[in-house]
Amino acid sequence: MPLHLGVNIDHIATLRQARYRTMLGAHNVEPSILQAAQEVEAAGAHSITIHLRGDRRHIVDDDVFLLRREIRTLLNLEMGNTAEILEIALRVRPDFVCMVPENREEVTTEGGLNVAGQKEALKASVSALETNGTRVSMFIDPDLEQVQASKEVGASMIELHTGTFANEQGDQRQVEALRLREAAELAHRLGLQVNAGHGLTTKNLPDLFIVPHLAELNIGHSIVARSVFVGLRRAVQEMLAAMKSYPQV
């Protein structure tokens, strides 16, 4: 199966919130999160990713329900493991949930979730979501203990955090790629779907492609940044074209 692309459109909402945070019901609010999702769909992406944060800094509750109702592709909801957001996820029933760490001062997610350190709390949430029809992923660093813990809490998938890989160059990037490969191989042996994301661009993707068993990449910032110059649909299409060289096992 070809490598799939999930497009994170949080930064479309970031741009909207820069002006309209306190007046989302106004008639002239832009850019439209739904229109962005529709452009991504039209470009051929396989899923839409959004992160509903506790502080609602970009995506807000209404966005989640609107997209669940209107999009034709799959919906991937990133979330911290809190009772408030879990209750929303159970109501929305996204196709996927990705459990992520959430720190109030960070600009974007800065590292993987410590699954091994909170297994009991995660087990309960994973069970509730999976029983409700939502497949659950753990966003983790390429650490074998975290891969094993993801299996133990009942997750169907992992998403490997590629931020360190993306920030390195040369030999050190290759070291990180080997860590990602080892984690992916273990996850595959455990029966977990392997996704990856954070900091990925059309330029660094070739270095990632030594990692086997990848099913989906979740990419946001690079695509939205590129869209400033060429439009969202073309930016997605460029990423999809870059992904075609991923070797199929």
* In the predicted structure, residue 235 carries a pLDDT above the cut 70: yes
The predicted structure's pLDDT at residue 21: 77
Give tens-digit pLDDT for 55-98: 999 999 999 999 999 999 999 999 999 999 999 999 999 999 99
* In the predicted structure, residue 103 carries a pLDDT above the cut 90: no
Angle at 126 between CA 33 and CA 162, to 5 degrees: 60
The CATH code of the domain at 4-243 is: 3.20.20.70
Confidence of residue 102 (pLDDT cuts 50, 70, 90): confident
Distance of alpha carbon 11 from alpha carbon 145, whole angstroms: 32
Residue type, 77: L
Annotated catalytic residues are 51, 78, 198
Write down the pTM of the prediction.
0.94
Query: What residues pair up with 161 in beta bridges, in sequence order?
Result: 197
Burial 85-114 (b: 16+ CB within 10 A, else e): bbebbbebebebbbbbbbeeeeeebebbbb
Domain ranges of the chain: 4-243
Confidence of residue 109 (pLDDT cuts 50, 70, 90): low
Distance of alpha carbon 226 from alpha carbon 221, whole angstroms: 8
* In the predicted structure, residue 175 carries a pLDDT above the cut 70: yes
Percent of the chain residues topping a pLDDT of 90:
90
The predicted structure's pLDDT at residue 230: 98
Burial 116-131 (b: 16+ CB within 10 A, else e): beeeeebeebbeebee
Regarding predicted confidence, which is higher, 24 or 224? 224
CA 40 to chain centre: 15
The predicted structure's pLDDT at residue 110: 64
Regarding predicted confidence, which is higher, 104 or 9? 9
- Write the CB contacts of 191 (distance below 8 Å, at least 6 apart in sequence): 151
